[in-house]
Every structure is written in C-alpha cells, then in structure tokens.
Amino acid sequence: MNTLILTIFAAIGYIVAYRLYGKFLAGKIFRSDDQKEMPSHEFNDGVDFVPAKPHIVFGHHFTTIAGLGPIVGPAIGIIWGWLPAFLWVVFGAIFMGAVHDFSVLVISARNKGRTIGDLTGSIINPSTRIAFQFIIQFLLLIVLSLFTIIVATLFVKYPESVFPVWFQIPIAVWLGWQIRKGKNDFIYSVIAVLLLYISIVIGVKIPIRIFPLLGSEVITWSFIIFIYAFFASTVPVHKLLQPRDYINSHQLIIAIVLLVVGITVVHPVINVPALNPAATREGTDIPGLMPLLFITIACGAISGFHSLASSGTTVKQIDREKDMLPVGYGAMLLESFLAVVVIMIVAGGLGMGLKTSSGILYGLDAYNYQYSSWSGINAGIGNKISAFVTGAANLLSQIGIPEKFAASLIAVFIVSFANTTLDSSTRIQRFSMQEIFTRKDGKTNMVTENRYIATFLVVLPAVLLTLNELLSKGGLELWRLFGALNQLLAALGLGIVSVYLFHKKKNYMVAFIPMLFVLMFTVWAMIDNVFEFYSGNKPILLALAVLVLVFTIWMLIGGILSLFDKSKNKA
C-alpha cells in the first residue's frame, strides 16, 4: 500500500465529514445561533474571558488539544500494524472525537462558560459533579507529570531544540503586544514564525546542555518546565497563551504541509505489516490489540482532555456561536489528519533509513528494530517519538531540507506543542480546583480564589509525582494510566452530552452510541490496569486506578438516575 493514497483518502474523508456531519450537528442538533451572547463578552475580565478572532481561537484550541497525543499515540499504536491504527484514527475522529469536542464546547458556551466538570452538577446531579471533578484532577495531574517528563527527555535527546523552544516565549509576547496595538495579526504572525525558524538554525549551531540535578538532566529540565508552567498559566491569556498558540498553529500547518509534500514527492511504500500478530502482551500469547489500541491512540481519534480544553479555556475566547463548528469539530479533524501523517511517516519514512549502533536498517528491518514485540513499547516513549522524527527527517531530506535541520525542526515542533498543553492543562486544572471549592452561593474559598495559590496547589503534586517516577521507572508507567483515564473522561463527557440532548428532546444517539463504544474498551483497560499495577507492586498508580473506577461507577449511576428525573426535563 502507498502512503500517498491513504493520506489523500483521509483528507477527502475529513472534508466530506465536516461539510455533511459537522454541519448536521451544528444546524439540526444544536441549532447554532449568532444572536446568543457568548461568555467571553458577558464575563470579559481581560485575564481568562477575552473574546478573540476565530482564527486566533482556532490556533489556541488546536495547539492545546494536539500536544503530543496525536504523535506519541500513533507512534506507539502502529505496533499492531498500520491498518487498525489508520481505521481507528479516521473513523474515530469523525464519529466520536469531533462530536465530543464540538458538543461540549456548545453546551459550555450556553451555560456561561462553565467547565464540563461543573456542568455535571446541573445536567446530572450535584453529587456526580464532585466525582467528575476529581476524575479531571487525576487526569490533569498525570498530564502535567507525563508531558513534563517527555519534554524534559526531548530536551536531553535533542539539545538543538532548546534555544528555539525557549526563544519562542519572547517572540509570542512581542506578537501579542503588536496585536493589541491593532497591527495586522497575520502579517506579524508570519514575521514571528520566520523568527522562530531563524532560531532553529541557531539552535542547530548551538545545542544547549544543562547541569544534571540528582544525577539527571531530565530532572533538572523537569523543575524548570514546572516553573515555566506555573507562570505561563497565570499570565493573562492574550499576553502569552493566545499569541504563542497562534504561532504554533502556523508552525504546525507548515510542518504538516512539508510532510505532506514529502509524502507526495517520495510517496514511500508502506513497509510494515497491515496487522502485526507478534504484538502480544508482554510474557503472554494474548493479543495486545484489544483493548489497548483504543487507549494507546487517544488524541488522534477521541480524547477526554479535549472536553477540558473546550470548556476550560477555549469557550472563554469564542466571539460568536457559529465559530464553534470550525473550532470544535474542525480542529479535531485537523488533529486526526496529523495522526494519519504520523502513521504514514512511521510506516513509510522510518524504513528509508534508521541509524543504529550496528549500522543502518531499511524497510521491515527498521520497523522490527523498533516494534519487534509488545515489550518494545516499554523500551521508552522517547524511542517511539524518535521513530517519527527519524522518518520525518528522512522524507524532508528528500525534498532538499538538510537532515539535521529537518530533525531539529520536527523536534521543536513536538516540544512546542507539548509546552502548549502543559500550561493550558495547568490553567484548566486550576479552574477545576476553584470550582470544587465554590459554594452553592457562588462564592469561592478565599485560599483557592487566588490564582497564584491555586496554581501552586495544582503544580506541587505533579512535581512530587514526576520526581517519584523519574527516580524509579522513568515515567513510562504513566502512559498506560493516562490513556485509560483520558478515554474514560471522553466516554463520560459523551455521556453528559447524551443526557443533555435527551432532556432537550434531541437526537441523543449521536453521542450515546460513541459513548458506549469508548466506555466498553476503556473500562476493560482500567480493570486490566488495576490487576497489573497490583501484581507489579505499584501502590500509587494502583490507588489512582481504583479511585477512578469508583468515581466512574458513581458517575454512571448518577447519569442513569437523571434520565428518569422529570425536573431535568422541565429545566
């Protein structure tokens, strides 16, 4: 099979899905109306609630939800072969992920910009609100810890990416300042991207290493990244978050275009199996495909984190209701296309040449070196990201981009998106914590009301978890728990949308059927995690997994009972 054919098939599928199914959801199910006042206008505070142009909000939302998910997930999930990964990414995004993201965004906007966790109390019942909020806290705790470890690892693995990634901050601050002065945002964003690429050239010439703390450079970078996340998540969104995400959206589009051009020019043949029967669970003959594929590849198909982004930060910047279709549904399809490109890069580009200690491997040999068995996944998340970076550099070198610069360009692109997710996650977790401690009269606890104190209370547990993981297993155990918890949150988000549509007497099946599918595989995976964490003597991860299952049962019971609550119908 040729990578170009599959890429074209996916692109056409996304365009058709947006024009048909997306517009059906907006027009027939939710009846989008620009006359409705958006929370960004009603509660404009110049910090979190700030209306913005649709393309700027799109850039922020897309870079927030994309992060490392559509790269790491497919780069790992292709161990089961390219076919299941490709099918899950394409059809999962169209009928599940994009529906989830768009629906949550609309519901939040029509309820004063409240987060999906807080809305649970109104849509289902107050007790389930607490359960859902704690599930959110657990997920974001793991996101902060896991993504910090990955970014720190990439800084050590690709030291040439350090300078351009950090130089992006003053560029973004300058861009935000120019936009607030009324300058043309597109022209100045192009200038900002050019400055970023100049910094990549400098980074290749001047790779930066850092002193090891507790014997590890990764630990040093982790502390620095947490300090950055603390301050970046407390700065007003229009001063750093919006302009930096706008730059990253341009950077991503350029990267996707370059990679698609590479696929078009080189159109490498897929040299990995459609199905890989060798990928069984470690030490067994049990296939790893079910249910692990559906929690390993999350963000490229469907992701619970997206509901937190939609209702946590994005909804507070939406200018008018009709902007939500391209931002909610459209951004998810573009992220899914990125995941397709990653699958094609690993399936075709990696086989063009993989440098190892014993020489250069080509074709199926290169794939087998990285994905010979299920145990290969545990060889390191960094190795799987390297498979994508290597494949991408191989393709770009064929269209005239020097291989070393190409590898640095892709590394900067990956780290930039991870950093975007980090400070957005910190901000969203702070919102969620403040909602947990908000009383029925609407007043907030005086301690958590202060955004600096609340952010510190969010960051501190993540620092401790990260340090614990780095000093023990290196953080690799977190990915499996993250995947299961992330998809569980997606299923619960779809459940809340289903209940909302049921009481509104709308076609709730558009959310209910995807919810059942995702919930089935995710609960299966969560139960597997409980047994594996118990047998592996991992008490912290075991406690998190058990607590999440308890809160999930709590949520499901509450949701079922709410369907028979006549007062909800009246509301």
pLDDT of residue 282: 57
pLDDT value at 8 more than 90: yes
pLDDT of residue 330: 94
pLDDT category at 473 given cuts 50, 70, 90 is low
Calculate what percentage of the chain has a pLDDT beyond 70. 91
End-to-end CA distance of the chain: 53
User: pLDDT tens for residues 192-211?
Assistant: 989 988 999 999 898 999 88
Mean pLDDT of 154-170: 89
pLDDT of residue 338: 92
Residue with tokens 């900002």: 192
For the domain that residue 489 is a member of, what is the CATH number?
1.20.1730
Residue pair 304/140 in contact by the 8 Å Cβ criterion: no
User: pLDDT tens for residues 408-464?
Assistant: 888 888 888 777 778 778 888 887 777 777 766 556 565 667 788 888 888 898 898
Give me 308's structure tokens.
Answer: 């937190």
pLDDT value at 283 more than 60: no
pLDDT value at 301 more than 90: yes
pLDDT category at 308 given cuts 50, 70, 90 is confident
Distance CA 520, CA 96 (A): 14
pLDDT value at 55 more than 50: yes
pLDDT category at 378 given cuts 50, 70, 90 is very low
Task: Note the residue count of the chain.
Answer: 571
pLDDT category at 101 given cuts 50, 70, 90 is very high
pLDDT value at 191 more than 50: yes
Nearest to 287 by CA among 164, 374, 362: 374
Mean pLDDT of 205-226: 89
Exposure string of 379-403, with b = 16+ CB inside 10 Å and e = fewer, is eebbbbbbbbbbbbbbbbbbeebee
pLDDT of residue 281: 59
Mean pLDDT of 3-8: 92
* Cis peptide bond upstream of 461, omega within 30: no
Exposure string of 179-196, with b = 16+ CB inside 10 Å and e = fewer, is beeeeebeebbeebbebb
pLDDT value at 382 more than 70: no
Higher pLDDT, 5 or 471: 5
pLDDT of residue 419: 78
pLDDT category at 474 given cuts 50, 70, 90 is very low
By CB atoms closer than 10 A (0-12, 13-18, 19+), residue 26 is: buried
Domain that holds residue 78: 3-570
Distance CA 86, CA 299 (A): 13
Domain count, the chain: 1
Mean pLDDT of 349-374: 80
Residue pair 418/147 in contact by the 8 Å Cβ criterion: yes
Number of C-alpha atoms within 13 angstroms, CB side, residue 562?
27
pLDDT value at 567 more than 80: no
Output the CA angle 103-244-200, nearest 5 degrees: 130
Higher pLDDT, 77 or 98: 98
Mean pLDDT of 376-390: 68
Which DSSP category does 37 fall into? P
pLDDT of residue 90: 96
User: pLDDT tens for residues 331-351?
Assistant: 999 999 999 999 999 998 888
Task: Spell out the SS3 assignment of 252-318.
Answer: HHHHHHHHHHHHHHHCCECCCCCCCCCCECCCCCCECHHHHHHHHCCCCCCCCHHHHHHHHCHHHCC
Residue pair 269/4 in contact by the 8 Å Cβ criterion: no
Mean pLDDT of 73-80: 87
pLDDT category at 570 given cuts 50, 70, 90 is very low
Looking at every residue in the chain, the average pLDDT score rounds to 83
Cβ atoms within 10 Å of 253's Cβ, excluding its own: 14
Mean pLDDT of 270-278: 82
